Amino acid sequence: MPYPPSPTANLILDAAAIDRALRRIAHEIIERNPDLDKIVLAGIPSRGVQVAQKLAANIEQIEKKPVELGVIDVSMHRDDLRLRNKLSPIEVSQLPHDLAGRTIILVDDVLFSGRTTRAAMDAIASFGRPARIQLAALIDRGHRELPIRADYVGKNLPTSINQRVYVRFEKVDGVPDSVWMEKE
Amino acid sequence: MSAWTRKDLLGIQELSAEEITTILDAAAAFKQVGAREIKKVPSLRGKTLVNFFVEPSTRTRTSFELAAFRLSADVVNISATTSSLTKGETLKDTAKNLEALHADIIVLRHSSAGAAKFLAERLDASIINAGDGAHEHPTQALLDTFTIREKKGRIAGLHVAIIGDILFSRVARSNIHALLKLGARVTLVGPSTLVPRVFEQMGVQVTHRIDEILADVDVVNLLRIQHERQRKEYFPSLGEYTSLFGLTKERAARLKPDALIMHPGPINRGVEIDSEIADSARSVILDQVTNGLAVRMAVLYLCAGAQPAHV
């Protein structure tokens, strides 16, 4: 994996900036959810899971109590099975057995069209009926195709529709945590 | 996990180890769907699946049918007796008619080896081989390897014995391909009439004495003796088969304590396996049935997803 991911990519956030953004989101989640026992941070594979883990670690550090983590794979709930060039890997979803009264915070790395979020909400509905669903994204790059907005955003990044955004995490990519954007 | 690019699943022989692992990993995700409150996902909504079973089968057809329901596909079942094949229509013409009705996936069980490949080469629909003659039964091998991997945590390095009617068994052939590709050691066990030495060319060991291997194997996969076919020429009697190759209580006691006992079903209690052993804790026969559903969901999802979009 090259670092940077492409020779024409600009660094948007480095590891320290990502940490700061996630620490701020952690505080916002704590502020809006006084009953932290009720929340589940559900990461959307692959890198949303990394963001969720980092958010959970931040919340635990601030509040000194553990936060429940989950994984919500959306591949089976997408509406574009044959429109994509290749099938992405499917991961095993993990959510608490009983969602009644819980607050699911969906966590993704980049919020773009909103279709992944829509699929994730459909997937959650098949597990049960949580009290509420919130959305956290490290990057909001705009260009929504559905009426969806994030409750927590690390950074708003104005992009053109074809501009590529890369998120890299040490744990899965083997390079320092970073966010990059292709030059126009 | 590598990307899946095949529109059809015809056999295990042509798959790479990575492709097999891709299916098994996807099956693990689909197995989780069965634990949800709503055990259904919309992946194949609006797609039509035809279960085209020219040879009779209840459990495989039902498993595919339920897998398709869980993926929100519409399902039509056609059996040999209800199809126009009995009126002399060729396999190709019947299939062309199914395609004209916009069937997206055809699951084919046929008595002739190569029937699924024949259709796959002629139709745009995804063709899933649900057993073609004595050739292959890929989803059975996939659910068997999935079950072994789930219980043992790995396939590589395990010693698997396949016991019984190997000669005519598509289940055995598909299992041999899958297990060898994933790095297991395979020993075939049975009378020399049903397990000829020629199988050694596939890269497996052959023995005609079950007692030699019991203490060493991690998995025993017992195939059904198809006694309804009256194979008198292959072994003298069911009683003699049981005494020489059946998994009796005495033999089961000599297996490793954590050895898995598998059977593709339907089992002949008291013939290839003792009735109590079939119900014992080491028997994973019913896990195989549950896992078959998850594996078939994965196969349908991957093959339908790899089809080019209809424009």
Is B5 contained in some domain? Answer: no
User: Looking at the structure, do residues B124 and B183 belong to the same domain, yes or no?
Assistant: no
User: Looking at the structure, do residues B218 and B188 belong to the same domain, yes or no?
Assistant: yes
ipTM: 0.77
Q: What is the pTM of this model?
A: 0.88
User: Looking at the structure, do residues B133 and B169 belong to the same domain, yes or no?
Assistant: no
Domains in chain A with CATH codes: 9-81+101-182 (3.40.50.2020)
Confidence (pLDDT) at B1: 47
User: Looking at the structure, do residues B94 and B156 belong to the same domain, yes or no?
Assistant: no
Confidence (pLDDT) at A82: 66
Structural domain for B84, as ranges? 17-137+290-310
Q: How far is A127 from chain B (nearest CA, A)?
A: 5
User: Looking at the structure, do residues B130 and B235 belong to the same domain, yes or no?
Assistant: no
A99-119: per-residue pLDDT in tens? 999 999 999 999 999 999 999
Q: Which residue has the higher pLDDT, B151 or B80?
A: B151
Q: Are B32 and A92 in contact (CB < 8 Å)? A: yes
Is B91 contained in some domain? Answer: yes
User: Looking at the structure, do residues B209 and B127 belong to the same domain, yes or no?
Assistant: no
Is B273 contained in some domain? Answer: yes
A145 in Cβ contact with A131 (< 8 Å): no
B18 touches chain A (CB under 8 A): no
Nearest CA in chain A to B29: A92
CA B203 from chain centre, in angstroms, equals 20
User: Looking at the structure, do residues B145 and B281 belong to the same domain, yes or no?
Assistant: yes
Q: CA angle at residue B241 from B60 to B151, to 5 degrees?
A: 45
User: Looking at the structure, do residues B117 and B179 belong to the same domain, yes or no?
Assistant: no
**CATH number of residue B228's parent domain:** 3.40.50.1370
Q: Are A81 and B4 in contact (CB < 8 Å)? A: no
Tally the domains of chain B. Answer: 2
Confidence (pLDDT) at B228: 62
CA distance A108 to A128: 21
B158 falls in which pLDDT band (50, 70, 90)?
A: very high
DSSP 3-state of B248 = coil
Q: Are A76 and B36 in contact (CB < 8 Å)? A: no
A85 falls in which pLDDT band (50, 70, 90)?
A: low
Q: CA angle at residue B223 from B238 to B141, to 5 degrees?
A: 170
B94 falls in which pLDDT band (50, 70, 90)?
A: confident
CA distance B38 to B72: 12
Confidence (pLDDT) at A99: 94
Q: Are A87 and B32 in contact (CB < 8 Å)? A: no
User: Looking at the structure, do residues B179 and B143 belong to the same domain, yes or no?
Assistant: yes
User: Looking at the structure, do residues B111 and B238 belong to the same domain, yes or no?
Assistant: no
User: Looking at the structure, do residues B261 and B278 belong to the same domain, yes or no?
Assistant: yes
Enumerate the residues of chain B whose CB falls inside 8 A of the CB of residue A73: 29
CA distance B207 to A10: 64
User: Looking at the structure, do residues B196 and B283 belong to the same domain, yes or no?
Assistant: yes
